[in-house]
Chains A and B, each alone.
Chain A
Amino acid sequence: MSIIYVLIPIAMLFVLIAVSIFFWAVKSEQFDDLDRQSVSILFDEDDIKANTNVNDSTNSHPTNSTSAELVGSDTLDDKPESKP
């Protein structure tokens, strides 16, 4: 029975390691996006030689978007400072 004097401290050490790993994981933002990381293994990580020319034009047919959409109506996010 006296073996527990050895075993329990070892168990405590394990818990300490587990807790510090958990703290490290939280602090390195691993719990911030749970939907994303769960499936990330499915995606190929090949480096894609994509056509990265920014200026290739897609055929943009104007569709029904109202002028209210074109200019965000949120003029108030940007409060000009009044000058004396």
Chain B
Amino acid sequence: MTSCFHCNEPVTTGEQYTTLIQGQQQPMCCPGCQAVSQAIMDAGLSSYYQFRSEPGQRQTALVPEQLSQYSAYDLPEVQQDFVHKQGAIDSTSLSIDGITCAACAWLIEHKLKPVAGITNVLVNSTTQRALVSWDSHIIQLSEILQIISKVGYQAAPYQVDEQEKQSKVDSRKFLLRLGLAGFATMQVMMFALALYTGYFTGLDVEFRDYFRWVSLMFAAPVVLYSAQPFYFSALRSLLSGKLNMDVSVSIAILGAYVASCVATIQGNGEVYFESVSMFTFFLLLGRYFEQSARQKASVSSSNLHKLVPLTAHLLRNGDATEIAAKQLIIGDIILVKPGEVIAADAEVVLGQSSVNEAMLTGEQMPISKHLADKVYAGTINIEQPLQVRVTALGQDQLVAEIIRLQELASNNKPAIALVADRLARYFSASILSIAAITYLVWLSISPDDAFWITLSVLVATCPCALALATPTAVTCATAIFTKLGVIPRKTGIFEKLTKIDHVVFDKTGTLTCGYLSIGEVQTFGQYSSEQVLSLAAATEQGSLHPIALAFKPFYDNKHIVEHVDHHIGLGIRACINQQQVCIGTAQFVTPDCNQVSPQALESQWIFLSIDNKLVAKIEMLDQLRIDSLATVNALKAANIKLSIASGDSSGHVEFLANKIGISDVHSGLSPQGKLALVNRLQQKANVAMFGDGINDAPVLAGANLSVAMGSGSAIAKNSADLILLGDHLSRFNDAIYVAKQAQRIIHQNLLWAFAYNMVILPLAVTGHVAPYIAAIGMSVSSLIVVSNSLRLLRIKL
């Protein structure tokens, strides 16, 4: 089996598609990859193939509808949300799907730079985004998006998470603080070494004081600038009447620094400058890890939140003009073409069609709509053009109702108290009280030493190791998650994942692929099943019905198709090669039908007749995802209870549940029903919920842990804790495994940190810890914790 030169997928199409690359005909797996590689070569960008470190993304060639979709991005009302105008130059940031390595970024930049009208392009391969500026008089945004799609990437404006804006600023600040602390710590440590050797060999007081003064100066920016976050966090927690780790940290940093300054000025006592700097540096390192993991997550979730402009064709005096959906007013008549998203809740005033409401209800099959029927925003028109009158906008739409329910559910989401936070509180409280007791006791023994010994207690019982224990492990685990294609969106995921004991699946789009495909084909008469499928595909060509899409792969253009006649909810009649071909329900294809056995509930059969004679029946299935069964079995093996909660009310749900062995099945549930079910289960268990549709959003928001499919709707992804990119269900099991390993490492780290503190505390209390011992103990314990966390990266899955 040869593999595709562009995307490395196996080539199943033989020698059909090839591209001349660097003098050799290279095999391609599909017309999409072929078109993309050809475009890359035509533009003279063969360096891409030379230097890429990852295969490209598998391409599905764009269909014209998708390209015309881009035109909506040119509407000024749509653009005002994401385009920044400066004179004649517009600029925006686009999220680009399919960037796998630096070569991709280079390719996009070089493809765009020479284009007339584009003034600036900057592609960032880490965040998978491009910053583009263009002159709107010369080129339109939609054209830019098309150029990008020609070289095989999908670009779209995105909605920036509030969280992301904040975390970008925070990350940069942390990096500055961390860098400064690093530089200063190195310097202070050098002088500290001189002081240590002086301590043992006797250094002139003159030089000792000189070194101390220099250390004082180097440590100043660390204490005054780098350590600021700890002071603020300590103040916040004190004001709210709680204790956190930062309280004892701040007291130690400030106390040790001020005391060391006093010692330097007076020329006696001990100095702790190197401990203070290193202390701050290590703690900041932990915070920086946490921060960068958080930023990665927020960037990925913003990237997933593509802005799809919702537009409508407004009918005025017989002409349709495209306007942004937010400009609609109640009573407007809009035209909805087949394949378009309906822009607002409305009622049909002209035409009849069927509408796919799967996103709202989970129902697989389109629902017929006739005059005066209600249609809802976000659903997709399938068959015929419809004219509808807008009846509700904004907050009054059905979708807004579901969003309100989602918000309500997320407020009632069971909070988990993170183990690390609880430990930190106890730890701080006990350290502070031990320090206070030490001070009082030593005050009565020897008042001169009391302060120094108390200080060594605060510095030596270093919370460094404790503060690094969780973030380092979480950072490593997050890195593995990213490799797996699992995006953690909230904090505390790892702890939640290990506690899950009941998993609830949505059916459509989660356990199943979410689109119909062809199962069994039974033929009656002289036709083979290939002929039947080819005829069916010819008849269904041009329809957007889910059934028609299932036949797409079987389409070839050898038939002459005329007089195609769609009958909503029944089927299609067409004249093919001078024969009348009908496809649809049994009653529709053979009016005098008696050869048709009653259908089983679990799947749908459609029938094909030629000249009113039944020739075949074809089973339509929503196939299970490839790894659904494996995932379910693995979860069962781990003693996790399973349920299905689906909005679909057909027998198909039961059938699937039997097939994969889930006994607890709830079908025909409204979004409220799903939420109620999960809330009921939550009284006895920690519930994880899988979903993808708008109708799953509330229940995802309310479950202890929620997982959204990467292909799901934006609102579902918004309320999820985890997002599975690439829709591999089995990655969830891997995620649980990684989370368990991460928990184990965290526990080891905490145990080590405590053990170290238990040993050093008595020594410090009794006054046996010199500054250099404090510094060494602190760094060694922190390094052990970090290297223990790094073991996570070697997990074999």
Contact = CB atoms under 8 A, between A and B. Distances in A.
Interface of A: 1, 4-5, 8, 11-12, 15, 18-19, 22-23, 26-27, 31-36, 38-40, 42-44, 47-52, 54, 58-83
18 contacts: A15-B187, A35-B126, A43-B103, A50-B111, A58-B61, A65-B63, A66-B514, A67-B382, A70-B63, A70-B66, A73-B694, A74-B715, A76-B694, A76-B715, A78-B81, A78-B309, A80-B393, A82-B393
Contact of A52 (B45, B114, B393): B114
A48 to B, nearest CB: 5
A50 B114 contact: yes
A61 B59 CA distance: 11
A35 B125 contact: yes
Interface in B106-127: 106, 110-111, 114-116, 123-127
B183 A15 contact: yes
B51 to A, nearest CB: 5
A77 B308 contact: yes
A23 B181 CA distance: 12
Interface stretch (B324-332, B758-766, B768-776): B324-332
Given A35-B101, A77-B308, A78-B307, A66 B549 contact: yes
A58 B39 contact: yes
Interface in B55-78: 60-67, 69, 78
Nearest to A9: B214
B219 interface: no
Contact of B378 (A11, A33, A70, A76): A76
Contacts of B440: none
Given A64-B549, A68-B380, A73-B714, 5 more contacts: A36-B125, A39-B103, A70-B65, A71-B341, A74-B305
Interface in B341-384: 341, 343-344, 356, 358-359, 377-378, 380, 382
A83 B26 CA distance: 57
A48 B340 CA distance: 39
A71 B114 contact: no
Contact of B394 (A8, A51, A80): A80
Interface majority SS on A: helix, strand, loop or mixed?
loop
A50 B44 contact: yes
Nearest to B517: A64
A57 B553 CA distance: 23
Nearest to A74: B714
B126 A78 contact: no
A81 B395 CA distance: 8
Interface centre among A8, A22, A39, A75 (most CB of B within 10 A): A75
B116 A52 contact: yes
B341 A75 contact: yes
Nearest to B183: A19
A70 B464 CA distance: 51
Contacts, number: 222
Contacts of B308: 71-72, 74-75, 77-78
A22 B226 CA distance: 14
7 closest cross-chain pairs (CB), A and B:
A82-B394, A72-B308, A74-B714, A75-B378, A80-B326, A58-B35, A62-B63
B325 A73 contact: no
B603 interface: no
B217 interface: yes
Contacts of B47: 42-44
Interface in B304-345: 305-310, 324-330, 339-341, 343-344
B628 to A, nearest CB: 19
B742 to A, nearest CB: 24
Nearest to A61: B31
A67 B713 CA distance: 14
Interface string B31-58: 1100100110011110100010100000
Interface string B672-711: 0000000000000000000000100000000000000000
Nearest to B78: A78
Contact of B45 (A39, A48, A78): A48
A18 B176 contact: no
Contacts of B400: 79
B146 interface: yes
B110 A73 contact: no
Given A62-B552, A75-B377, A39 B51 contact: yes
Contacts of B139: 54
